[in-house]
Amino acid sequence: MYGSEKVTDGAGRTAFRRAEKKYKLYYDENSKSSKKKKQPKPVDLTEVIDFKAILECYNRNGELPRGVIALQGEDSRPVFCLENSPGFYFIPEALSIEEQFHWIKESLTNFPQPPNRTNHNAIYGPVCDLFIAAKDGKVLIHEENSPNSLPGSNPDVGIEDDHEWKFSKKSQHSLRGSKCKSISASVLLRKLRWSTLGVQFDWSKRNYDLSLPHNKIPDALCQLAKRLAKPALPAGIEFQPEAAIVNYFGLGDALGGHLDDMEADWSKPIVSLSLGCKAIFLLGGKSREDPPLAMFLRSGDAVLMAGEARECFHGVPRIFTDKENAETNDLEVHFVHEDDLCFLRYINSSRININIRQVF
């Protein structure tokens, strides 16, 4: 799956790679050397499909651009399909602001909790309560006399001793001097790239590993995914959510073109939710040579990929973290409680993607 992220056609030799380069975040050469904050290079967005605008126009006068089909989803809200991309469904504004608010909080607090794994496991072992630790300004400290503390030792070895890395107050840390390795929780939070729910995906083997301890995916997420998956399934066939991958994107992060091909039944959709900053999604064809379509993904949008669309390369070359383009204003209005400001601060410059899968 994500192994294909390692792009071997670095020179932009495939159509997919060329599109990734077109939309990727680059900085203006001139602004780098100047004292001014570096400015992102302007990017031509005229070819990016905007389903928000399509929805508005469709609701106003029933008109659709060529190649776009509208199905009637729940509460007669439209679900859009593309004539030339069977199995792909776009549900604009699938989640209410309240739902977005809820899933952003879950993604930052509960989803990265052990036994769910995150990208930090390989180095630090299971890390508990990362978001709270970041909020409290804590530091993750490596105990000095631990037997597994040899520098450069296999990171997985340390996992057996789950007391090795511990959160501690910053002040206590400075008292101990600089002998132990440490990293601040806020840096770790910024470096959180994924967490896995339900059946755990083993990134090194690039497969699901049933032997890893796991919880069922949360029931509310399961129900939501079942409801959203309906347009992509024949009547009477139910989607069985068994795993989810949560991706966290910060400034400059991207998800390279890939296929999700480790699930048994490709007739079942992947249900993919967008939260936070607006992004560009590329939907390619079965070959990297097929020029991809670019479209905006906004907070609250859902995408379904089933059947033939499961065989199509796709990726996220860009997220927008600037105020004008991020389009997180609606969230800002909702996250007003003092306790919520830390979530707002995170999501104003980040994007979260939850993609839910039936594995077997």
85 lines the binding site for ligand OGA (CB under 6 A): no
Which of 167, 127, 160, 132 lies closest to 146, judged by CA?
Answer: 160
When the beta carbons of 162 and 260 are compared against Mn ion, the nearer one is 260
Site string (300-319) toward ligand OGA, x via CB under 6 A: --------------x-x---
Residue type at 314 in one-letter notation: H
When the beta carbons of 167 and 281 are compared against ligand OGA, the nearer one is 281
The kind and range of the H/E element at 226 are helix 219-229
350 lines the binding site for ligand OGA (CB under 6 A): no
> Is 314 assigned a ligand-binding role in the annotation?
yes
The kind and range of the H/E element at 274 are strand 270-276
Strand, helix or coil for residue 237: coil
263 lines the binding site for ligand OGA (CB under 6 A): no
> Is 214 assigned a ligand-binding role in the annotation?
no
Binder among 99, 209, 260, 340 for Mn ion (CB under 5 A): 260
Binder among 91, 229, 255, 271 for ligand OGA (CB under 6 A): 255
Smallest gap from residue 286 Cβ to Mn ion (A): 14
Beta-bridge partner residues of 148: none
Which of 301, 295, 357, 349 lies closest to 323, judged by CA?
Answer: 349
Beta-bridge partner residues of 78: 72
The position carrying tokens 């039944």 is 265
- Angle CA 6–9–12, to nearest 5: 120
Segment near Mn ion (CB under 5 A); pick from 60-68, 177-185, 216-224, 253-261: 253-261
127 binds, among ligand OGA, Mn ion, none (CB under 5 to 8 A by kind): none
Smallest gap from residue 315 Cβ to Mn ion (A): 7
Helix%, strand%, coil% for the chain, nearest 5: 30, 25, 45
How many whole angstroms separate alpha carbon 189 and alpha carbon 164?
19
Whole-number Cα distances in Å, 281 to 40, 64, 229: 19, 20, 19
Binder among 108, 355, 356, 359 for ligand OGA (CB under 6 A): 355
Q: Which two tokens stand for residue 301?
A: 């949008």
Q: Which two tokens stand for residue 127?
A: 């890390």
Residues in contact with ligand OGA, counted by CB under 6 A, come to a total of: 12
DSSP characters over 117-185: EETTHHHHS----HHHHHHTT-EEEE-TT-TT--TT--TTGGGG-TTSEEEE-HHHHHHTTT-S-EEEH
Binder among 116, 272, 321, 350 for ligand OGA (CB under 6 A): 272
Sheet holding 293-297, edge to edge: 255-258, 314-319, 279-283, 293-297
Smallest gap from residue 260 Cβ to ligand OGA (A): 5
> Is 209 assigned a ligand-binding role in the annotation?
no
247 lines the binding site for ligand OGA (CB under 6 A): yes
Site string (101-130) toward ligand OGA, x via CB under 6 A: ------------------------------
Site string (206-245) toward Mn ion, x via CB under 5 A: ----------------------------------------
Give the residue closest to ligand OGA by C-beta: 353
202 binds, among ligand OGA, Mn ion, none (CB under 5 to 8 A by kind): none
Instruction: Detail the residues annotated as belonging to a binding site.
Output: 258, 260, 314
Q: Which residues bind Mn ion (CB under 5 A)?
A: 260
Q: Which residues bind ligand OGA (CB under 6 A)?
A: 245, 247, 255, 260, 272, 274, 281, 297, 314, 316, 353, 355
Instruction: Detail the residues annotated as belonging to a binding site for Fe cation.
Output: 258, 260, 314
